[in-house]
Amino acid sequence: MSNDIQYEYRTGIGTDIHRLVENRKLMLGGVEIPFTRGLLGHSDADVVLHAVMDAILGAAGLGDIGTLFPDTDEKWKDADSKELTLMVREGLEGKGWQIVNVDLTVNAEEPKLGPHKGQMKRCIASLLAIDFLNVNIKAKTNEGLGEIGQGLAISCTAIALLRKRTRRTL
Q: What is the CA radius of gyration of the chain?
A: 17
pLDDT at 130: 97
Mutual orientation of helices 81-94 and 47-60 as an angle, nearest 10°?
10
Task: Return averaged pLDDT per consecutive 10 residues of the chain, 170 residues in all.
Answer: 79 98 97 97 96 98 93 88 96 95 97 96 98 98 95 98 80
Give the pLDDT confidence score for residue 44 in this predicted structure.
Answer: 95
Query: What is the DSSP track for 32-97?
Result: EEP-S-EE-SSS---HHHHHHHHHHHHHHT---HHHHS-TT-GGGTT--HHHHHHHHHHHHHHTTE
Domains of the chain: 5-168 (3.30.1330.50)
Whole-angstrom Cα distance, residue 151 to residue 170? Answer: 58
Rounded CA separation 159/161 (Å): 7
pLDDT for residue 125: 98
Q: What is the pLDDT at residue 117?
A: 97
What's the confidence (pLDDT) of residue 48? 98
> Which is it for strands 26-28 and 5-21: parallel, antiparallel or unpaired?
unpaired
**The pLDDT value given to residue 122:** 98
